[in-house]
Amino acid sequence: MMKEKVDLGLRQFIKQLGFMAGGAAVLSSMPWLTSCTAEKLDEIKSSPKARVALIGTGSRGCYHLTSLQSIHHAKVVALCDIYPENLKHGQEMFPDAKLYTDYRKLLEDKNIDGVIIATPLGTHARITLDSLSAGKHVFCEKAMARTMDECKSVYDAYIRQNKVLYYCMQRMYDEKYIKGFQMIHSGEFGEVVGMRCHWFRNSDWRRPVPSPELERMINWRLYKESSGGLMTELASHQLEVCTLTTGKIPVEVSGFGDIIFWKDGREVYDNCSLVYRFSDGRLINYQTLISNKYNGMEDQILCHKGTVDLSKGIYYLEEDDQVDGMRQLLNQIRDGVFAAVPVAGPSWRPEVKGRYVPHAILKSPISVNSGQNMTGVENDGSVEILSAFCQSCITGQKAENLVEEAYCSTMLCLLGNKAMDTRTVVAFPDEYKISYMKF
């Protein structure tokens, strides 16, 4: 059942979406999805499986291994990790895979088509560059790299070499986001006038350390040499949504970041608040902190005729003829007639939303990410994008625009960190602009 869902779920959805939007219109605006059709899957059914290796068998790496168990056109042939406990966990899932503690030795294996990188951010660029040089297709976790120079080096290498490169930008493969993008781009909600995104958790982000010398290896997210903090770990996903919605890149950013609660020796901020400004004056208001979880996670696109919360798969209209009926329903809820609101979006709070009525982006049931899970959640597009990568390892077909979008969102995160560090307004540097970008 899971195999059928991975292989056909998104593919059938794209087919249906294409019919609704007039055929090729959707794929032309979201070209990274061109390989995710039922017809493309049929083309590889008689082909040998993609032989893939995982570098980094920690929590996120093992999450990918679980997904790979359901992807029938993939075969895990090798695993690598420098931490024995992590490697043991990976081996338990794929006992026949070769084991490595040095990824460079793994890259020498000619029987590997593609590698999946789930290591700390500070190692992404080096391992990606080495993998491409070794002739491997690459799938890497976000963000792209720890520094802007590294991002540019990776992008330039990708352009030079004829190899597939994916970044785990799962929202680009999530059905509710895909349909939401299509609705926004069609003008259904009028002009996009602003964006508001936030991600709140209540967790120290720490992991148990069996021995003090392993602190920076295991808790790499807390130290600047290996991590970009909340921006690269969380904001990278949400800023991606904003650039995909507008088709443009902000020209400058300002903001504040501090360590306000988890004062335990960490170096990265536990609280960030930023404003990104586009050339036409539109703004992205972004906030994240990890000492309060009440507001959860939201990706809101504010339009002249409505508001779309892509993370919840719902939208609200500025003028809505269903308001009166919903007011009556809300009164019944307050009076205890109903125990729950029978509409999409578990985080919708009537006392806050007032007279606005939530409408579902999709008619079918969806999964909503509360933002609290720190490894991965079901049905968020992660399995689908990994399946697409394995397919690309067989066909050699690149996911158009995917690397460029990963580059854009990562650069915006790193610029946000710079703005917070310097307490200044930071403009997008000319030396890091690429032809794909529109400002």
pLDDT in tens, 204-223: 999 999 999 999 999 999 99
Q: Predicted confidence band at 16 (pLDDT cuts at 50, 70, 90)?
A: confident
| Residue 63 confidence (pLDDT) above 70 | yes
User: Is-contact 234 171, C-beta < 8 A?
Assistant: no
pLDDT at residue 340 in the model:
39
| CATH homologous superfamily of 189-373+409-432 | Dihydrodipicolinate Reductase; domain 2 (3.30.360.10)
pLDDT at residue 374 in the model:
66
pLDDT at residue 349 in the model:
47
- Name the segment(s) of the chain with CATH classification 3.30.360.10: 189-373+409-432
C-alpha 221/C-alpha 232 separation (Å) is: 10
Q: Predicted confidence band at 329 (pLDDT cuts at 50, 70, 90)?
A: low
User: Is-contact 83 211, C-beta < 8 A?
Assistant: no
Which phi and psi (to 5°) does residue 288 adopt? -150, 140
Residue with tokens 């069996």: 210
Range name among 7-11, 149-153, 287-291, 406-410 with the lowest pLDDT average: 7-11
| Residue 342 confidence (pLDDT) above 70 | no
Which phi and psi (to 5°) does residue 257 adopt? -145, 140
| Residue 337 confidence (pLDDT) above 90 | no
pLDDT at residue 11 in the model:
80
C-alpha 56/C-alpha 80 separation (Å) is: 6
pLDDT at residue 346 in the model:
43
What tens digit of pLDDT does each residue of 140-160 get? 999 999 999 999 999 999 999
Order of strands, sheet of 192-200, starting from the edge strand that comes earlier in the sequence: 359-360, 314-317, 306-309, 297-303, 192-200, 283-289, 271-277, 252-258, 426-427
Average pLDDT over residues 399-407: 97
Q: Report H helices in 205-280.
A: 215-218, 229-230, 236-246
Measure Cα distances from 91 to 76, 79, 127, 428 in Å.
Answer: 11, 8, 21, 44
What tens digit of pLDDT does each residue of 356-395 get? 899 999 988 888 888 887 677 778 899 999 999 999 999 9
Mean pLDDT of the chain: 90
Looking at residue 217, its amino acid is M
Q: Angle 237-238-242 (CA atoms, 0-180°, nearest 5)?
A: 125
Domain spanning 2-172+381-405: which CATH class is it, in words?
alpha beta
pLDDT at residue 418 in the model:
98
| Residue 323 confidence (pLDDT) above 90 | no
What tens digit of pLDDT does each residue of 245-294 get? 999 999 999 999 999 999 999 999 999 999 999 999 999 999 999 999 99
Q: Which residue has the higher pLDDT, 349 or 269?
A: 269
Q: Report H helices in 194-316.
A: 215-218, 229-230, 236-246
Looking at residue 213, its amino acid is E
Element (H, E) at 335: none
**Strand extents, DSSP E, 174-310:** 192-200, 252-258, 271-277, 283-289, 297-303, 306-309
pLDDT at residue 15 in the model:
75
pLDDT at residue 334 in the model:
47
Q: Which residues pair with 299 in a beta bridge?
A: 197
